[in-house]
Amino acid sequence: MPERSFDGLHVAMIMDGNGRWAQARGWPRLAGHRAGAETVRRMVEAAPGLGIGTLTLYAFSADNWKRPQDEVAGLFRLFARYMRQEADKLRRQGVKFEVIGRRDRLPGPLVSLIEETEAATSAGSRLRLRVAVDYSSREAILRAAASGARDRASFHAALGPDVDLLIRTSGEQRLSDFLLWECAYAEFSFLDVAWPDLTESGVRAALDDFRARDRRFGAVHPARVQALR
């Protein structure tokens, strides 16, 4: 069955700065992650009105297992709480929820909750929300190759749609093993604001800047070709 097409841009977001945002206020790092969950809600609600059809969020990388055990456990509790509280709202809002990344290392109850939320929202057609958990782009590419992907079409089928715009908060300027294949021709926006402080207006400004860029995908703009003649 062919993959459903969602109207609008594919925007990916690296949700960076939660822990530092909390520590700057003298709070535990998990308080920053809780604030970051509220930002996720705002971004999901705002996305369709901003012309976003697919939103991919980097929640937990394969390298994040190196963090303190209590922080990792707290992140998983927050993720489970988000799904329990938001699943029905996502369904009513027409959001199709998906998780990308490995599941074999996640707690069993969390995997069951992911599967339940995906099933409950499977008919969504207004926004495709993809959350990367225990995710590594390098590993995803290797798995796609091992499964028999040999050309661009099969790799895209295994990995997902091309990214139009990648936004990373907290001022960091790197991909951190996120959507390497899908970002081949993505535009980038690095924002000097921590994830909990990201607003709809901030994303709108990044999208306005993106839409003003000249995306040629390796070609030359026809007007420039004419000017050279």
pTM metric for this prediction = 0.92
pLDDT score at 7: 86
In three-state secondary structure terms, 159 is: helix
The token duo for 226 is: 């004419």
Instruction: Provide Rg for the chain, Cα atoms.
Output: 18
pLDDT score at 217: 80
The predicted-structure confidence for 43-94, as pLDDT tens digits, reads as follows: 999 999 999 999 999 999 999 999 999 999 999 999 999 999 999 999 999 9
pLDDT beneath 50, residues of the chain:
1-2, 225, 227-229
Q: Among residues 7, 63, 64, 197, which one is catalytic?
A: 64
60 CB burial (10 A radius; 0-12, 13-18, 19+): buried
Give dist(CA 144, CA 157) in Å, integer. Answer: 9
Domain parsing of the chain, residue ranges: 9-228
**Topology (CATH level 3) of domain 9-228:** Undecaprenyl pyrophosphate synthetase (3.40.1180)
16 classed as catalytic? yes
pLDDT score at 228: 42
The token duo for 200 is: 């709809």
Q: Distance of CA 31 to CAs 16, 19, 179, 193, Å?
A: 14, 8, 27, 17
64 classed as catalytic? yes
Q: Among residues 7, 16, 18, 177, which one is catalytic?
A: 16
Give dist(CA 168, CA 189) in Å, integer. Answer: 6
Count other C-beta atoms under 10 Å from residue 155's C-beta. Answer: 17
| Contact in structure between 78 and 31 (CB atoms under 8 Å) | no
pLDDT score at 219: 73
